[in-house]
Structure 1
């Protein structure tokens, strides 16, 4: 796998370059081509699903973004402290993607 040095996303081969969703391209040289080997062929009847940042899988809540004042945010819980303490609630603005946390 090649990762984009600009944004860190996975770059996919297209024509004679690796291309990233941010627009960065890297030419596939002979040395780079020898580094990769196809280990599995995809049959034409198989479905491959690519998803982008527009897929909304997290639940949302009404919460004001401290950066842009938008009133909707995705949220999730994560254990960031000891197990006997409550989880940390993370929120990400649906408009500007700013992420912040709330504690109980």
Structure 2
């Protein structure tokens, strides 16, 4: 026997008669969000060099002193953002947890 997680009513054929919750919709939502996570790419190796701001930061790989940078919220909202750097010479990418 299954119950609606919103209304706590018993589901009939996988659907709640009160709020319309459906087990099938829940499965589709999980699948599509899992597919989205796999395809999430911020920048390809060649992208962003023209539009992103540059900073004087030494590359750990080649020693070049210029990189482009961007920030993303990679952890929960109450945590600080993560700053990413990409070397303008060798395209090596690294991050800094601020």
Provide TM-score, normalisation by structure 1: 0.48
Structure 1: gaps of 5 or more residues = 1-51
Question: Do residues 65 (structure 1) and 69 (structure 2) align?
Answer: no
Q: 2:91 aligns with which of 92, 97, 101?
A: 97
The answer (yes or no) to whether the contact 2:54–2:67 under 8 Å persists in 1 is yes
Q: Which has the higher contact order (CA 8 A, sep 6+)?
A: 2
> Whose helix proportion is higher, 1 or 2?
2
- Structure 1 or 2: larger strand share? 1
Moved over 3 A (4+): 52-55
Instruction: Give the match for residue 68 of structure 2.
Output: 74
Provide the alpha-carbon RMSD of the alignment: 1.8
Give the length in aligned residue pairs.
53
Secondary structure of 1:85's partner? Answer: coil
- Greater Rg over alpha carbons, structure: 2
Q: Find the aligned partners of 1:60 and 1:87 in 2 and give their Cα distance.
A: 18
TM-score, normalised on structure 2?
0.50
**What are the superposed Cα offsets for residues 23-78 of structure 1, whole Å, 9 maximum, x if unpaired?**
xxxxxxxxxxxxxxxxxxxxxxxxxxxxx759611000000000000000000000
Question: Is 1:84 matched up with 2:82?
Answer: no
